[in-house]
Amino acid sequence: DGTLQALIDFHLVTKWKTAGDSLLAASRLAREDSKTILIVGAGTVGRSLREAYGAYFPDARFTVWNRTRSAAEVMAQDDPRMDVADTLQDAIKAADIISCATMSTEPLIKGEWLRAGQHIDLIGAYRPDMREADDEALLRARIFVDSYETTLGHIGEIKIPLENGIIGRGDIVADYYDMAAFKRTSNDEITLFKNGGGAHLDLMTSKFILDRWNVSP
């Protein structure tokens, strides 16, 4: 009926909706035996990804890389399961899962650095001019998105290579509306997920928080 039900802190919603979106994909696309997880970006989102991935992969070790090394060192200083990467290239080559949450407009993840069996989780790009992975990375991977509607024509990660003919619409395997197809088919393939986010996820997360609050003693 349009009645205001709650005012919920934006940072709390963003923290859990973003990490949850990525972790759902990783639970279906990453290898179950993944042991090394690289977080690219030591900001607020990077920290929430460390919490989420750590809960799902309790035996994994983490590495963090950040353009400013001091920020990565701060993130890792109280975490016995996290190391600071010296170079991004070496960290990517060593990781089973690469989760990238940066504000980069130029690709950081190079396809030539990838190896069989990895899962790539791309979060940071949200504008048409932003990318975190290059063309070769997309060409080497099976590509998944959370929603066709919020990614293909809006986020540079997918929009630019589509418009340039590097990939075709048929190269996007599935979004969350086709969960039956949202799966790894071999241990050797590289999977790539674009977390596009969107206001619908804010609404879902807010409703979950409100429902939990309403049933709490």
* Residue pair 121/22 in contact by the 8 Å Cβ criterion: yes
Q: Is 2 among the domain residues?
A: no
* Residue pair 133/113 in contact by the 8 Å Cβ criterion: no
Residue with token string 């619409």: 169
Query: What tokens does 26 get?
Result: 């990783």
Q: pTM for this one?
A: 0.91
DSSP H/E element including 149: helix 148-151
Q: 216 pLDDT band (50/70/90 cuts)?
A: confident
Using the 8-state DSSP alphabet, how is residue 61 labeled?
E
Q: 13 pLDDT band (50/70/90 cuts)?
A: confident
Q: Is 15 among the domain residues?
A: yes
Inform me whether the pLDDT recorded for 154 exceeds 80. Answer: yes
Q: Is 1 among the domain residues?
A: no
Residue with token string 């975490």: 79
Residue 104's CATH number: 3.40.50.720
pLDDT > 70 fraction of the chain, expressed in percent and rounded: 99
Q: Is 86 among the domain residues?
A: yes
DSSP H/E element including 200: helix 199-215
Q: Is 57 among the domain residues?
A: yes
Count of domains observed in the chain: 1
Q: 141 pLDDT band (50/70/90 cuts)?
A: very high
Domain of 208 in residue numbering reads as: 10-215
* Residue pair 131/151 in contact by the 8 Å Cβ criterion: no
Q: Is 5 among the domain residues?
A: no
Q: Is 4 among the domain residues?
A: no
